[in-house]
Amino acid sequence: MAHLFTPFAYKGLELKNRIVMAPMCQYSVTAKDGKPNDWHFTHYTSRAVGGAALIIIEMTDVEPDGRITDFDLGLWSDEHIPAFRRIVDACHAHGAKVGIQIAHAGRKAEDAAVPVAPSPIRYEGSRYKTPRALTTEEVRAMVQKFADAARRAVEAGVDVVELHGAHGYLIHQFHSPLTNQRDDEYGRDLARFGCEVIEAVKAQLPAAMPLLMRVSAVEYADGGYDLEHILQVCARYKEAGVDIFHVSSGGEGPAGRRKPGNYPGYQVPFARAFKDTLGTPVIAVGMLDDPGLAESVIGNGDADLIAIARGLLRDPYWPIHAAQALGVQPEVPKQYLRAF
């Protein structure tokens, strides 16, 4: 049995293999109301049919102006729950577990009239506006918005919740010295906002449900933080309640001179550093869609789970085809068995 197709269990989460569908925005909400529609239903359910063990629904925001665009998903109202539950139930019926990535875009909210952020520092690019700094009371209220969204995700039937603390969105903006230049308690302690969100969200989850967090291991912008900074921050996040880290990189600004370039497995060393330093399970991500490479990452102990992104956009049945490539009998729906 290939390592990629061995089961994974942590707390109450049991996965049939090590393959995760990474969250990827679809920008496909039709009524701008934040509710998933038939596109989202087909998109996610087809990947469950295709054999992914854990499907993480794309960045889903805690308030309307927290979306990257008005075409993104949201969980700011109980009215959103039934549409998400429909997707979760269908994916469960095909053997996949499901999570929702809860987030706020902060200064990268393109369609907000006035975006909000830790500090009024504009993200570079013509489509971005100068954000307004959140007041201290607004930061505290934002923590509750994350908690409320997590409660709704649980009511929709998810198996895990993931917080988006990467790619230059709001939680990332708070723990980055580049974007957090506040002089209140949320500026003096760069991990404070993230820790409060984690604790508030954790209080909404069943005791056996793991909390995931996606983080950027390094910032590629000139003057951005390095791996040592985020490991210190994430040690605090672990203490606050994060169970599994989903390790990506960048997203806070122009890549500058610090980025080595995109190549298969370029983020794997970051995942390994998290695993070795923090002692938590980790998800590796980033151009891992070659089955042999994905297998080696698990087999070498660099990560516990592999997140596939564009590979699953190109091929909804990537897990089935990866199993074939690795010499493993694929798990195939009975309706398709005649093809195998």
Res 225: pLDDT: 96
Q: Are 258 and 296 in contact (CB under 8 A)?
A: no
Name the residue with tokens 């649980």: 154
For residues 132-149, give the mean pLDDT.
98
Q: What is the pLDDT of residues 287-307, one digit of tens each?
A: 999 999 999 999 999 999 999
Q: At a CB cut-off of 8 Å and minimum separation 6, what does 57 contact?
A: 23, 36, 40, 44, 73, 84, 87, 98, 99, 100, 101
**Cα(127)–Cα(16) distance, rounded to whole angstroms?**
42
Number of domains in the chain: 1
Tokens read off for 204: 């909404």
pLDDT at 267: 96
Domain of residue 210: give its range. Answer: 3-339
**Res 259 pLDDT > 90:** no
* CATH, residue 183: 3.20.20.70
pLDDT of residue 125: 84
Question: Which two three-digit tokens encode residue 17?
Answer: 């293999």
Q: Name, in order, each residue with C-beta under 8 angstroms of 71's C-beta and a sequence gap of 6 or more.
A: 27, 28, 29, 30, 32
Distance in angstroms (rounded) separating the CA atoms of residues 340 and 328: 12
The burial class, CB within 10 Å (0-12 / 13-18 / 19+), for 331 is middle
pLDDT of amino acid 304: 98
- Burial per residue of 63-87, b for 16 or more beta-carbon CB atoms within 10 angstroms, e otherwise: bbbbbbebbbbbbbeeebbebbebb
Q: Which residues are CB-neighbours of 141 under 8 A, at least 6 positions away?
A: none
Mean local confidence (pLDDT), 215-225 = 94
Q: Nearest 5°: phi and psi at 256?
A: 60, -155
| Burial of 185 per CB tally in 10 Å (0-12, 13-18, 19+) | exposed
Asked if pLDDT for residue 257 goes beyond 70, the answer is no
Residue 260: pLDDT band (50, 70, 90) is confident
Give SS3 for 282: strand
Q: Helix, strand, or coil here: 4?
A: helix
**pLDDT interval class at 10 (50, 70, 90):** very high
CA distance 191 to 153: 24
Give the β-pairing of 73-74 and 160-165. unpaired
pLDDT for position 74: 98
Sign of CA dihedral 72, 78, 83, 86: positive
**Interior angle at CA 254, CA 116 and CA 127, nearest 5:** 50
Helices (H) and strands (E) counted in the chain, each on its own, are 11, 13
Residue 2 has pLDDT above 80, yes or no: yes
Does residue 173 carry a pLDDT above 80? Answer: yes
User: What digits encode the pLDDT tens for the residues 82-110?
Assistant: 999 999 999 999 999 999 999 999 999 99
Q: Note the pLDDT tens digit of each residue in 27-43.
A: 999 999 999 999 999 99
Residues in the chain: 340
pTM: 0.97
Per-chain mean pLDDT for the chain: 97
Closest CA to 7 of 22, 24, 19: 19
Greatest distance between any 2 Cα atoms in the chain: 65
Q: Which residues pair with 284 in a beta bridge?
A: 247, 306
Band (pLDDT 50/70/90 cuts) for residue 126 is: confident
For residue 254, pLDDT beyond 80: no
Identify the H or E element spanning 59: strand 54-61
